[in-house]
A and B are shown apart, each in its own frame.
Chain A
Amino acid sequence: MKSKWIFGVSIICITTFLGGCSSLGVQPWERDFLAKPGMAINSSPMDSSIDDHIYFSKEASSGGRSFAGGGCGCN
């Protein structure tokens, strides 16, 4: 049941995006800001792996950004 709901939401988001803006994206020479290290999708992988580990051991949900599971008996 619940999973259907999430699927619904993500499909709405996706179609809104694809339908709404056909002019998404930039030309290769417009990648000045995007080329900065701070604009990388995961600009601090060290921090995110540490955070994932801490929250994995303290909360009941994990993953989302990357794979959720395994690897540690800390919970």
Chain B
Amino acid sequence: MQITQHRNYFKIAFNAMASPCEILLFSDSHNLVKVVAKIAIDETKRFENKFSRYLYNNLCWQINRSEGKKVKIDLETFNLLEYANNLYQMSEKLFDITAGVLNKIWHFKKDAHPPSQSSIDELLPFIGFHQIDYAKKYFCMPKGMQVDFGGIGKEYIVDRVAQLITPICEPEEVSFLVNFGGDLVAKNFNSLHPAWHVGVENIESHRCSEKLINISQGAVATSGSTKRFFDYQGQRYAHILNPITGKPVMGAPRSVSVFAGNCSLAGGMSSLAQLQGKNAEIFLKNAEVEYLCYW
């Protein structure tokens, strides 16, 4: 963790959730910044320790290795499952946190090629949120299935951190920006301070770059395939997978950024838009949300 003081703001930087995380605070108080840093990092690590797929014996590990047995869960997990279920229903089964098993056969890197139809068919029975049986106190899913909270976790934790530091920042009129790898929330408690300039991932022709946007209040989340794709026989295969067909959604934009009141909403909308493939922009227009879309 690193705290640096800039001309009129402090920056807290650390790595978590497989992303560079930063919090900018329009403040001159080092003490406040330290308090905020502790809260933010504790909360982020707490979440990561609980829900990361890569940690031994955490909640996510227990769930994914439950082999059909019931696992005791807490309220937070239940709420996340309810939220995932909402996305599943709203997207007509396209947004599915059990789709991660497909990553066993799809490798989105340069010069890769699609897996065989038979290997896809073998995995499809292990996908489908509706196969999960869960309630407030327990979780149960058929053997062979996997869940991945990654698709909702980062936006959620950005919202949570913003929520937790608000009671500290607001009385002091300290405006802030929480930015975890491009998923961000800004809160403005002081009309004096200028808007934050932040980069959103974007691809133009063959080079990666960032587009700068101005934000002082609200949330932005981006989903896209700017780095994770391969071209095969003239077709672009990007890492947005359709859990029903087991294949990438074709013709989806390279990146979609959505502006909203909170980061979970922004992230959910951008993911749902991606899953619409070439209809993404129509979907966003019809939803009447503010967005940036790159093809």
Contacts and interface: CB of A to CB of B under 8 A. Distances in A.
A contacts B: CB pair < 8 Å: yes
Interface of A: 29, 32, 35-37
B59 to A, nearest CB: 23
B170 interface: yes
Interface range, B side: under 10
A37 B171 CA distance: 13
B262 A32 contact: no
10 contacts: A29-B261, A29-B262, A32-B166, A32-B167, A32-B170, A35-B163, A35-B166, A35-B167, A36-B167, A37-B167
Interface of B: 163, 166-167, 170, 261-262
Which label, helix, strand, loop or mixed, suits the secondary structure of the A interface?
A: loop
In the A-B complex, list the 8 residue pairs whose CB atoms are closest, starting with the nearest: A36-B167, A32-B166, A35-B167, A32-B170, A32-B167, A29-B262, A29-B261, A35-B163
A29 B166 CA distance: 12
Contacts of A37: 167
Contacts of A32: 166-167, 170
Nearest to A37: B167
Contacts of B163: 35
A35 B170 CA distance: 12
Contacts of B167: 32, 35-37
Contacts of A36: 167
